[in-house]
């Protein structure tokens, strides 16, 4: 019963897409697992326990809200038909009704309790991070993300959106990135989030996570992906002119594939020390530039020394 309305929404979306000439191609079913799909009406399919709880709570609220709206609409219709001037020329002089007053006090309280109890439980699950198998530090920057793996070699890399003209077949527009965050399937992943410049927000709908990336503060969330695949999210806090162009891509792989990726990443993203002639290059560049830029590069040379 809790999924009836969701099924109706999905069916309506399918009919709509068919009517518009099949805007979602044959890969739409797979794509919808970790990313939005054309003409989507509901939420993305859950791929983590927290998101499953969120979807269940959403369905519960949908039934409650539908019942409340139907009741209010019914009362409006009854009052309009029975108590208009033509049908009821002599208005009632009733000043109070104890039963009605008790009902409209007790029933809302019961509804609020029914809503509050599971919401507090879900909030506790979201905020209570279990023992992590993998820790990833995500740093929001204008306008891309940087990921660090402190327990797997302390390497770090940047993740930028792939321009539309460079997309490969199957890569989603405005969501694909050059370097994906990689995690193992079935493992608890702790994500430590911060910002390097302004406030950002790390959000991946399929995992049911969204947390602010605040400069000077280290926030924390977690997820446990249940299926392999690529799951997309976006920065969800207005952070400047290119806010819409800093997507999040999380690739979930097997534990063996993750171990192999870590070994490759240690070599690929290893910190490269500056060349020995860096101060000389800085000095030469400063000499070639106008006087306004020279003092700044002189400071850089001093720091390098």
Domains recognised in the chain with CATH numbers: 4-127 (1.10.287.90), 134-268 (2.60.40.420), 275-305 (no CATH)
Greater confidence, 96 or 160? 160
Cα-based distances in Å from 17 to 22, 25, 31, 109, 273: 5, 10, 15, 42, 53
Q: Which pLDDT does position 290 carry in this prediction? A: 43
User: Angle 92-97-103 (CA atoms, 0-180°, nearest 5)?
Assistant: 130
Residue 258 has φ and ψ, to the nearest 5°, of -65, -40
Contact between 171 and 35 (Cβ < 8 Å): no
pLDDT (tens digit, 9 = 90+) per residue, 16-51?
333 333 333 333 344 446 888 888 888 888 999 999
**What does the block give as tokens for 3?**
């999924």
Per-residue pLDDT, averaged over 257-261, amounts to: 95
Position 82 pLDDT exceeds 70: yes
Contact between 277 and 231 (Cβ < 8 Å): no
Q: 157-165, long-range: CB within 8 Å, 24+ apart, which pairs?
A: 157/265, 157/268, 157/269, 159/248, 159/249, 161/245, 161/246, 161/247
**What does the block give as tokens for 19?**
């009517």
Greater confidence, 225 or 35? 225
Q: Which pLDDT does position 271 carry in this prediction? A: 63
Position 131 pLDDT exceeds 80: yes
User: Angle 126-161-171 (CA atoms, 0-180°, nearest 5)?
Assistant: 90
Q: Which pLDDT does position 266 carry in this prediction? A: 92
pLDDT (tens digit, 9 = 90+) per residue, 185-223?
999 999 999 999 999 999 999 999 999 999 999 999 999
Q: How confident is the model at residue 94 (pLDDT cuts 50, 70, 90)?
A: confident
Q: Which pLDDT does position 155 carry in this prediction? A: 92
């Amino acid at each position: 019963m809790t999924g009836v309305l969701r099924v109706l929404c999905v069916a309506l979306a399918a009919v709509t897409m068919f009517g518009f000439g099949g805007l979602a191609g044959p890969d739409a079913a797979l794509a919808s697992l970790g990313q939005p799909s054309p003409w989507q009406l509901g939420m993305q399919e859950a791929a983590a326990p927290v998101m499953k709880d969120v979807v269940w709570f959403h369905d519960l609220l949908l039934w409650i809200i539908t019942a409340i709206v139907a009741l209010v609409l019914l009362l409006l219709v009854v009052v309009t038909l029975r108590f208009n001037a033509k049908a009821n020329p002599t208005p009632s002089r009733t000043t109070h009704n104890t039963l009605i007053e008790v009902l409209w006090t007790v029933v809302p309280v019961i509804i609020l309790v029914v809503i509050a109890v599971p919401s507090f439980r879900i909030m506790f699950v979201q905020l209570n991070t279990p023992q992590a198998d993998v820790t990833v530090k995500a740093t929001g920057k204008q306008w891309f993300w940087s990921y660090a793996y402190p327990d797997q070699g302390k390497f770090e890399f940047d993740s930028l959106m792939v321009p539309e003209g460079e997309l490969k077949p199957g890569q989603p527009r405005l969501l694909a990135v050059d370097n994906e965050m990689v995690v193992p399937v079935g493992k608890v992943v702790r994500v430590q989030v911060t910002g390097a410049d302004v406030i950002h927000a790390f959000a991946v709908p399929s995992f049911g996570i969204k947390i602010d990336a605040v400069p000077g503060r280290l926030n924390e969330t977690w997820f446990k992906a249940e299926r392999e695949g690529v799951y997309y999210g976006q920065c969800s806090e207005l952070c400047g002119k290119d806010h819409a162009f800093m997507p999040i891509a999380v690739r979930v792989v097997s534990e063996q594939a993750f171990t192999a990726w870590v070994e490759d990443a240690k070599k690929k993203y290893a910190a490269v020390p500056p060349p020995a002639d860096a101060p000389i290059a800085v000095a030469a560049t400063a000499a070639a530039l106008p006087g306004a830029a020279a003092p700044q590069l002189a400071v850089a040379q001093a720091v390098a020394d």
